[in-house]
Structure 1
Amino acid sequence: MTDIPILEVTNLKKYYKISQGLFKSNIVVKAVDDISFSIKKGETFALVGESGCGKSTTGRTLLRLTEATSGEVRYKGKDLMSLPYEKMRFLRKELQMVFQDPYASLNPKMTIKQILTEPLRVHKKYTPSERTKKIIEILKIVGLSEEHLDRHPNEFSGGQRQRIGIARAVILNPDFIVADEPVSALDVSVQSQVINLMLDLQKEFELTYLFISHDLSVVEHMTDRVAVMYLGKIVELTETEKLFKDPKHPYTQALISAVPASHPREVKKRIVLTGDVPNPANPPSGCAFHTRCPFVMEKCKSIAPNLTEVADGHQTSCHLYSEKKEEKTNVIIHSEV
């Protein structure tokens, strides 16, 4: 892993207009609301949060599988959002995606050979005979064999289908892969196999991952940095080890407290949040988390906090830390006076 960003996201927004009611009035749902982050070459960067927080929408928007409302996504210095169709299509061999549902992401009418040949054919890579060799090679890497070539997706288990999905993503030798909850639909026993496969492939092909998940135990095991999302916004961003050792945002603290204990003697204090996740079509004013926060203050209800650095390389958006900064500043000013 290097310190050079392979992907830089600046003020990314994805809004949806929904018509409802008798007069079909438009309601704007802010699925992704002004988020910024960067991903270093060779690292695994995680997006975590509850269902509906905007994780998957972010991943799809980065690759322009859905168009952004506004914002900038720079891949190796190129602004993906402004690229014309043909240039973006050419870049897709470097930008791939592993989808969440291994049952829906593979065409049931195509054989495995046809599924894996398609990206090579679309991007005009290799001759027909070389393509077959490449497919057999990649199948072996992901734990399958040549005898699977003429089978259809319905003849495979969920874990095997996800291996095929991963094979399809890496067969073009990409640099960056968005993995959208790649193990959430799999049995626990199969999850570890797929995770280890992804880690092995990362070393072998020097891949960079955006890993989207709600399973924090998986995130802790395989990622380098984490961004926590809530109602379309990033509320905390730091290195994985720091996040699990010292979570700053009350929402992150609640998420981590819900992770099952890894040892029978480990005692964990569970933080139970009250209330439901607000309707994204009608979010609360101020801090979006204030309706469920155990530390809510009056200013939280009207003023939205900014994502600021509260420790070395550790950012969070919470008024608790802005209050502490103000207190420290006042102490310094008074002491100088």
Structure 2
Amino acid sequence: MRLVGLFLVFVSFILVSCSTVIKEPKVRILKENYCSPTIAYTDYEVEVIDIKKDSVLANQLSSHDYILATHIGIKSLLSKLGESKDPIEKLELKQQINTRILLFQTEIDAVAAELDCNGERFDQLARVLDSKNNKTNTELTVATIALGAAITLSTALIKNDDLNKGINITGGIAGAGLGFLLLNPKGKKVELNNNRNLLRNVWENNNEDIAFPPALWRVMNEKSFSNEGELSLLQTLKNRWVTFAFEDNISKKQEELYFGKGGLFSSDNIHLMSDMNNELQATVRTVQQDLRSLVFNISLLK
């Protein structure tokens, strides 16, 4: 009877352990994308990059600063500033330029804040899964030790050879089951639906949903803002993901998981989501270096 009881306890434990998808309340909270902005980004006037037309301004600014000024919509204002002789008009133009620069800086901060929030959200969710997996592994280890001890004790106390064989066979099956669960590397999972996913915009090179502010998106797709000048900031980042995160071999299933509609995420999957959000945040913030150069050189204009 004791053997039967032990076997029933084991079966119950297996059934509980096989429930791999976590749906508890604190996980549901972390699944919600509370990091997304409550209002949509809007675009402002898009100016044409034409250095010949603004040769005076182009001579006063580097091509790098000139292109950035064009993307954030202040090139025409800077041209008027250089041509104006009226002190009042110059003051008004400077205020408009500063307002537009401040708006662009705010957009950088807003996107970086969303990515930072998502990075922390995924980190916390991964920690919950890690804790669950560690607890499960501990319980499985304890159960394995207890099962082995019970079989040894039963074999020593029971003199019936047929019964001993039955105990050893049953115990062997139970031990194998526990061992298999211990070797299972995936552990608990959580279902995530990525309706809004800034990583997807980068991966697909598509900003039709305006998840990125249009001016920032234009800048990050401008090749001249990368160190080599051959690929844009976003293309360079995507190449790093392919090389380091996916080892130059990403499957359709992985694409759907990370950059598509989502699915069942293991702890490792969520850690990677966090890493990619943090890497994108760092790339967004590098634009501040370009903005700093533009602001400094505008201050030197007469």
Q: Which has the larger radius of gyration?
A: 2
Normalised by the shorter chain, which TM-score bucket?
A: under 0.3
Greater helix share, structure number: 2
TM-score (norm 2): 0.23
